[in-house]
Amino acid sequence: MPSSPNAPWSLARRAERLEPSVIREILKITEQPGILSLAGGLPAPESFPVEAMREACQRVLTDTPREALQYAASEGYGPLRDWVAAQLGTQGMAVQASQVLITTGSQQGLDLVGKLLIDAGSRVAVEAPTYLGALQAFAPYEPEFVAVDCDEQGPLPQGLAAAAGARFLYLLPNFQNPSGRSMGAARRIEVAQAAARAGLALVEDNPYGELWFDAPPPPPISATAGEGSIYLGSFSKVLAPGLRLGYVVAPPALYPKLLQAKQAADLHTPGFNQRVAHEVIRNGFLDTHLPMVRARYKAQRDAMRAALDKHLPAGCRFNVPAGGMFFWVELPAQLDAVALLPKAVAAGMAYVPGAPFYCHAPRLNTLRLRFVTLAPAQIEQGVAALGRVLRDALEARP
């Protein structure tokens, strides 16, 4: 159908499935000065290793300027692929560098996975709730989403039979976006086994795994699922999202097709960025950098926990995340977090309503709070404002 009576354009069916990101729209309003924003998925800018990046840029431009600025291999920068494979090895995953594809953010990895595996009408199983960006990446390929039953650890192994026949199950085992929940070691093994029994392939997305507060998470599910799993990782939360660097680890049988999809999408991930990131991390930089990020985020998590305990009205429930960036709050059933957002913004704070994170049956009485970008005193102020908005709403609608 033409986009207007006089215009010659006809939108493809998949373009009609592209919807404005509710989160981005909210970000536009809420990341303004004066609003205490607990919305959006931004890491703390204070955690970006600016000095190390500056020095690494200088070294790359001095030592290998022409290689860094030239077109490069679609697979990614060899030493960075080696680093990823070795790093995953320390987490219990046996990965060859030849299985690693460096992507332009792990968001691109999700798009490539969708392109590779989803036909119109294919079933794709997801958690409820799940990462909105994945729903958006997969949607243009016209899947039929199936929500698997979840508890406070994520998917229930017995719920996977309902997803049999799906092209894959998309999983977020560590400090999930949006719910903050994590899967324990036993659950991971049970899910991998149940998926194998159901003939279900897994797509595991792990951008937050390094942001643990007390103990590292158990090994990735992909360590158990072997050939039946694709694994996605990201440098956005451990270095900086502006680099747009992520990676996909694919079974050897899938890799060539994935690589062709990558070539068709953007030829390769910026080689300069890959070399700079590798220059920063190659000598153990993250061993000193990540403990600082973890300590910072943990203090902010504790501040938010205390503020939620103090300011939320009775009838609200929340998890306490063991890592990552988010709290997930369930409001009393009669409250609608989408409808209340303008009131929260008017009160000087912002959150992300939980509803868009569900593929079906959105739970309107849920919301996500990011705790990593504000100082503890501001976190308390923001949560106190949220508490007042919720109390007013409960008094207006007893």
Ligand X SMILES: Cc1ncc(COP(=O)(O)O)c(C=O)c1O
- Please report the beta strands in 291-390, taking only residues with DSSP state E, as ranges in sequence order: 317-318, 326-330, 349-350, 352-353, 366-370
What are 189's two structure tokens?
């093994």
Binding-residue pattern over the window 153 to 182 for ligand X, x denoting contact by CB under 6 A? -------------------x----x-----
Give me the least distance between CB of 26 and ligand X, in Å please: 14
Helical axes 337-346 vs 376-396, angle rounded to 10°: 120
Q: φ and ψ at 291, to 5 degrees? A: -60, -30
Q: Which is nearer to ligand X, 297 or 307 (CB)?
A: 297
Residue from the set 40, 129, 133, 217 that interacts with ligand X by CB under 6 A: 133
Residue from the set 74, 236, 365, 373 that interacts with ligand X by CB under 6 A: 236
Q: By beta-carbon distance, which residue lies closest to ligand X?
A: 105
Q: Which is nearer to ligand X, 133 or 159 (CB)?
A: 133
Report the alpha-carbon distance of residue 171 to residue 191 in Å, rounded.
10
Residues in contact with ligand X, counted by CB under 6 A, come to a total of 14
Q: Which is nearer to ligand X, 301 or 311 (CB)?
A: 301
Under rule CB under 6 A, residue 269 binds ligand X: no
Nearest of 85, 248, 94, 230 to residue 168 by alpha carbon: 230
Q: Which is nearer to ligand X, 210 or 380 (CB)?
A: 210
Nearest of 387, 374, 376, 393 to residue 36 by alpha carbon: 374
Give me the least distance between CB of 129 and ligand X, in Å please: 11
Under rule CB under 6 A, residue 105 binds ligand X: yes
Residue from the set 40, 41, 180, 387 that interacts with ligand X by CB under 6 A: 41
The rounded Cα 187 to chain-centroid distance in angstroms is: 20
Q: Which is nearer to ligand X, 241 or 270 (CB)?
A: 241
**Rg of the chain over all Cα atoms, to the nearest angstrom:** 21
Q: Please enumerate in sequence order all residues whose Cβ is within 8 A of that of 135, keeping only pairs 6 or more positions apart, or say none.
A: 126, 145, 357, 359
Residue from the set 74, 136, 234, 300 that interacts with ligand X by CB under 6 A: 234
Stretch that binds ligand X, among 105-113, 117-125, 139-147, 349-357 (CB under 6 A): 105-113
Under rule CB under 6 A, residue 331 binds ligand X: no
According to CB under 6 A, which residues from 341 to 360 bind ligand X?
none
DSSP 208-255: STT-BSSSPPPPPTHHHHGGGEEEEEESTTTT-GGG--EEEE--TTTH
Q: Bin 105: left if φ > 0, else alpha if -120 < ψ < 50, else beta.
A: left
Question: Any alpha helices (H) in 198-249, and if so which ranges?
Answer: 222-225
Stretch that binds ligand X, among 47-55, 72-80, 103-111, 369-377 (CB under 6 A): 103-111
Q: Which is nearer to ligand X, 106 or 224 (CB)?
A: 106
Q: Which is nearer to ligand X, 241 or 321 (CB)?
A: 241
Nearest of 128, 204, 195, 130 to residue 165 by alpha carbon: 195
Helix (H) or strand (E) holding 93: none
Q: Residues in the site for ligand X, rule: CB under 6 A?
A: 41, 105-107, 131, 133, 172, 177, 205, 207, 234, 236, 241, 246
